[in-house]
Amino acid sequence: GAVVSQHPSWVICKSGTSVKIECRSLDFQATTMFWYRQFPKQSLMLMATSNEGSKATYEQGVEKDKFLINHASLTLSTLTVTSAHPEDSSFYICSARGPSTEAFFGQGTRLTVV
Partner 1 sequence: AQTVTQSQPEMSVQEAETVTLSCTYDTSESDYYLFWYKQPPSRQMILVIRQEAYKQQNATENRFSVNFQKAAKSFSLKISDSQLGDAAMYFCAYRSTGNTPLVFGKGTRLSVIA
Contact footprint for partner 1 (CB under 8 A): 1, 31-32, 34, 38, 42-44, 46, 49, 51, 91, 93, 95, 97, 101-105, 107-108
Torsion (CA) 65, 66, 71, 75 in degrees, nearest 10: 180
Buried b (16+ CB within 10 A) or exposed e, 13-26: beeeeebebbbbbe
Closer by beta carbon to partner 1, 43 or else 61: 43
Nearest to 37 by CA among 79, 97, 8: 79
Closest separation in Å from C-beta 45 to partner 1:
8
Please identify, using beta-carbon distances, which residue of 46 and 68 lies nearer to partner 1. 46
Instruction: State the DSSP code for 36.
Output: E
Closest approach, Cβ 16 to partner 1, in A, equals: 27
Among residues 1 and 61, whose Cβ is nearest to partner 1?
1
